[in-house]
Amino acid sequence: MNMVANRGCLFFLMALLSILVGCKCSKRETPVEHGNRNQILHLGNQVEPSDLDPHTTTGVAEINIHMALFEGLVSPHPEDLSPLPGVAKRWEIDDAGRVYTFYLRENARWSNGDPVTATDFQFSVKRILSPTLGAANAGLLFVLKNARGFHSGEIDDFAQVGVKVLSEHVLEYTLAEPAPYFLSLVMHPAWYPVHEATLRAHGAADERATGWTKAGFHVSNGPFRLKEWKVNEVVGVEKNPFYWDADVVRLREIRFYPIENLNTEELAFKAGQLHVTEAIPSAKLTSYRQANSPFLRLDPSLGTEYYLLNTESPPLDNNKIRRALSLSLDRQSLVDNVKGGGQKAAYHFTPPQTAGYTSSAKLKENVEEARRLLAEAGFPNGQGFPTSELLFNSSENNKAMAEAIQQMWKAALGIRVELRNQEYKVYLNSRNTGDFQIARSSWIGDYNDPNTFLELWTSGSGNNHSRWRNDNYNNLIVQAAQTNDRKNRFDMFSKAEETLLQESPIIPLYFYVNAYLIKPEVKNWHPTQLDWHPYKHIYLEPRN
């Protein structure tokens, strides 16, 4: 993401300049020092959120904020993300593993004081599955009986969907097939409840961007409520006094800053503007590691960086060309020389040991094979190959990776690729509408199971921006969902990955390690595979 510094970056540069000028005459209290005394957490959040609606957004920046504002039936444990009671104080599962009965807390409240009821969850399921809302994450609810049919329009009667209100505080979900990961799945923001009266006061329930998510109107049910949203500057949340477990919440406020420029974010951290950064410039990582910096954290992550290929855009509609692009990359060189943070080269899509699954299907890099495929497609040594475009959202790390891959393709295949970077919201629109040929992308697991990665490339997935369709692949993912036999299920996933790698609608690059900076005053911030950090458990402890 890097054509022009955004307002968030300018905001921080001005703040940094103010600190530096102030230091000439007196020692000023930094925002971090002030935050430590007053339990105000300052976080780098990389990009401006596209919205604060948990049903229509899919980005990490939005999820970071949603997890402060909302709470699902089940909440993640702060250390290992195992299911803990949330709005539901307990639950029961039938012997077949298909019917889940949740018993809601009588003291659960929205941030305006209204009670949270089973009807709120039922309404929210209907909303995100509504075809007119067009929610990209609606597929996360397809585990429910008839949810897929209702979303596609094949079923008109929502009463046939597997969600039933048994009483004001008792909710029943019926699954299409047993899903051993279901309790982890319902922790995702796609399953969060939204406040029906607030939505309807601003427009239709299945309408996007009606204004209900703005400060002053936003109603949520989590440990925090929205205090302010200054576009491209900050999203501020404050402790929600109506939250059922408010006594446990020690932070008074959290401030999320959309700082796209990683060098600016690092400077802000050094100047006491931030407690935690979203990332760290790749070029700076080695020096932090060599210095054994107490601020550096390298956490394992359930995520994959990949390039997305628009399979409807010539010449990428030709599978031989897509495979040539994938086979010609030296992934180990990319992680060693461009990333340098302990990332693992990705020769398949699903990260290894995802809930015990590792794909048996793997890419084998082969430049000679890539050249042969390109020649068979009509472009020997790249001759006549049209100049293609690689899109990425602006950041130094994304730019460095794009430049390295651009040179690899030129050296190995003789093809020319131009780079195009866009601010995050514009990039999302380009990606979602198909206005790209090759695009940088990533996927962080929504729950710890291979299905969260492989369901992504089914025909019905709202996040399948490659526009690739393959019936065999679809059938394998459906079959995997219909079996409780772990070995058979994993075998089907591996066969699906084999198809995915052969068809190459995507190019896996590397598996994530979260590299970032954090102040030691931040307590209960644990490394987790999904990079989720339940804020109700976090607090600040000033140093003596």
pLDDT in tens, 511-541: 999 999 999 999 999 999 899 999 999 999 9
Q: What is the Rg, in whole angstroms, of the alpha carbon atoms belonging to the chain?
A: 24
d(CA 332, CA 351): 16
d(CA 210, CA 201): 9
Q: What's the topology of domain 1-65+222-277+518-544?
A: D-Maltodextrin-Binding Protein; domain 2 (3.40.190)
User: What number is the average pLDDT over the span 41-46?
Assistant: 97
d(CA 36, CA 302): 31
User: What number is the average pLDDT over the span 44-70?
Assistant: 96
Distances 188 to 122, 130, 446, 479 between C-alpha atoms, Å: 16, 18, 6, 24
First to last CA, the chain: 39
Q: What's the topology of domain 74-201?
A: Dipeptide-binding Protein; domain 1 (3.90.76)
**pLDDT exceeds 50 at position 352:** yes
Confidence (pLDDT) at 416: 96
**pLDDT exceeds 90 at position 300:** no
DSSP class of 467: -
Is residue 322 a contact partner of residue 388, using CB atoms and an 8 Å limit?
A: no
Q: Give the chain's mean pLDDT.
A: 93
Confidence (pLDDT) at 472: 97
What is the DSSP secondary-structure string of 423-461?
-HHHHHHHHHHT--SEEEEEEE-SSSSTHHHHGGGSTT-
Is residue 405 a contact partner of residue 399, using CB atoms and an 8 Å limit?
A: no
At residue 67, the 3 state secondary structure works out as: helix
User: What number is the average pLDDT over the span 267-292?
Assistant: 94
Number of H helices, E strands in the chain: 17, 18
Q: How many CB atoms lie within 10 A of CB 433?
A: 9
Encode pLDDT of 406-432 as tens digits: 999 999 999 999 999 999 999 999 999
Q: Where in the chain are the domains?
A: 1-65+222-277+518-544, 74-201, 301-514
Confidence (pLDDT) at 12: 54
Encode pLDDT of 203-261 as tens digits: 999 999 999 999 999 999 999 999 999 999 999 999 999 999 999 999 999 999 999 99
More confident residue, 178 or 254: 254
Q: Which two tokens stand for residue 122?
A: 């039922």
More confident residue, 525 or 5: 525
At residue 7, the 3 state secondary structure works out as: helix
More confident residue, 5 or 454: 454
- Going by pLDDT thresholds of 50, 70 and 90, the confidence category of residue 7 is very low
Encode pLDDT of 74-132 as tens digits: 999 999 999 999 999 999 999 999 999 999 999 999 999 999 999 999 999 999 999 99
d(CA 262, CA 260): 6
Q: Which two tokens stand for residue 496?
A: 């699906």
Taking CA 47 as the corner, what is the angle to CA 70 and CA 77, rounded to the nearest 5 degrees? 35
Q: What's the topology of domain 301-514?
A: Dipeptide-binding Protein; domain 3 (3.10.105)
More confident residue, 48 or 300: 48
At residue 516, the 3 state secondary structure works out as: strand
**pLDDT exceeds 50 at position 19:** no
Whose tokens are 């048994």? That residue is 166
Encode pLDDT of 465-518 as tens digits: 999 999 999 999 999 988 888 999 999 999 999 999 999 999 999 999 999 999
d(CA 326, CA 329): 6
More confident residue, 340 or 359: 359
d(CA 351, CA 345): 10
- Going by pLDDT thresholds of 50, 70 and 90, the confidence category of residue 543 is confident
d(CA 308, CA 320): 15
**pLDDT exceeds 80 at position 464:** yes
Confidence (pLDDT) at 332: 97
